[in-house]
Amino acid sequence: MSHKAWYHKGLRFQCTQCGNCCTSHGEYAYVYLAEADVRAIAAHLGMERAAFLERWCTEDEGYTILRMDAPACPFLTEERGCAIYPVRPKQCATWPFWEDNLDRARWEGPVKECCPGIDSGPLYSAEEIERIARETEEWYG
Ligand code: SF4
Ligand code: SF4
């Protein structure tokens, strides 16, 4: 419940576009794609769904993920931008407000260590944070 959560006064976040979260960090190694992501990104790239899956994706325990042949996401540009920004996967759009990350130790530990945008910028209310986390969970089903 929001009023009891450790982040009940909200959390600040503003992306500095450092590109850190688009680069593999152990447990943050995977970019998951829901079917809606697959279709949107394939269409954005002007590719058939099957060709997109073949070229850019692989499977992990039944989930479709971007194929990371290098530590950095294949869509991370040299300018540290996202080449598919308008259709980037849901988890990219909703970072850092994922359900798992709302564990205080995780937020103040690995999440903050990975992301310099934590604790700066606009304040997100507990309700908004939980809405984003819920939306992300539902997206991936
Ligand atoms: S690690 Fe944080 S600040 Fe850096 S690109 Fe990712 S969201 Fe933005
Ligand atoms: S798809 Fe874009 S936002 Fe997501 S990890 Fe790759 S470069 Fe980063």
Give tens-digit pLDDT for 20-67.
Answer: 999 876 665 689 999 999 999 999 999 999 999 999 999 988 999 999
Q: What is the pTM of this model?
A: 0.92
| Domain region containing 71 | 26-88
Which residue lies with its CA nearest to atom 4 of ligand 2? 92
Residue 7 lies in a domain: no
Question: Is there a single domain that holds both residue 75 and residue 128?
Answer: no
Which residue has better confidence, 96 or 2? 96
Can you read off the two tokens belonging to residue 15?
């992306």
- Give me the number of domains the chain comprises: 2
Res 6 pLDDT > 90:
yes
Residues 115 and 100 in one domain: yes
Determine the distance separating the centroid of ligand 2 and the alpha carbon of 89, expressed in angstroms.
Answer: 7
Final residue of a structural domain among 65, 88, 111:
88
pLDDT at 25: 64
Ligand nearest to the CA of 57: 2
Closest ligand by atom to 97 CA = 1
